[in-house]
Structure 1
Amino acid sequence: MQIQSEDKPYDDINITPMLDLAYVLLVMFIIMTTAAVQGIRVDLPKASATPSLAKPSTKAISINQEGKIFLDTFPVTIGELEDRLRQAKAQDPDFPVVVKGDGKTQYQLVIDVLDLLSRLDITKVGLATKALTAGG
């Protein structure tokens, strides 16, 4: 049995701490970039399944608790919403729309927006909800 002498240089480099650091930095980057996504604060109602609706050309219509309507974070009236959706439909007749209605807003406002989308013949419409948790 041979014992290594103290004078011999160290052959191996342990890269485990470097990999740990790289993974921590990657996780921090992911958390910080997803936290930077901003928009109108809407308390979404809950549903058992939430489909992924994110597309770059998707228009988001939000209705907050006070009943104010927003198109892509810009406040609009129902008339302005109709005009802007007509313009968007002229550019891309097949664009999708996501409606995010606050759970505490008047149901009639959401119906008015859905009726407007129907009149404009916008068929790719999604309703944003939160996933239902196990506790209810």
Structure 2
Amino acid sequence: MQVQSEAKPYDSINVTPMLDLAYVLLVVFILMTTASVQGLHITLPKPSNKPPTERHDLKIVQVAPGGQILVNGAPVTLAELEQQLSAAKARDPKMTVAIKGDARAPYAAVIAVIDLCNRLAVNMGLVTSRIGT
């Protein structure tokens, strides 16, 4: 007597349990990644309460809307600005230039002043204001 089996061979593989496992691993990965980023501690430098004892020369260079260059309020050309900055740097090697470019000033004029400060190796900073003020 022979027993006949009614079972059919499998034609396809059920991937549902494999997808469930993949989704669980993805969720665990996302949770662990965000938890590690939130745990980042940074020690920021603290400002000093004592006033600086060194005083260095400060030149304020303004670029007006028409492209005119002003040094401490006096109009100068780019060549005159170079002479003044060279002389000031010879007197005080740690002098600083504050560049105030008007929003309506030609961009090329502001870049020319920045390039001049870079060429003379002068410390410089750009003066900005808050939006809306």
Structure-1-length-normalised TM-score: 0.55
Contact 2:59 2:98 in 1 (8 A): yes
Q: How does 1:1-136 map to 2 (within 5 A)?
A: 57-122=57-122, 124-133=123-132
**Structure 1 segments unaligned to the other structure (5+ residues):** 1-54
Contact 2:63 2:110 in 1 (8 A): yes
Cα distance in 2 for partners of 1:91, 1:132 equals 37
Secondary structure in 2 aligned to 1:100? strand
- Higher RCO (CA-CA < 8 Å; seq separation 6+): 1
Shift of 1:56: 6.8
The list of structure 1 runs, each at least 4 consecutive aligned residues, that deviate by more than 2 angstroms after superposition, is none
- The alignment covers a number of residue pairs equal to 79
Report sequence identity in percent.
38
Shift of 1:75: 0.5
Aligned partner letter, 2:66 = E
What is the RMSD computed on CA atoms of the aligned residues?
1.7
Higher gyration radius (CA): 2
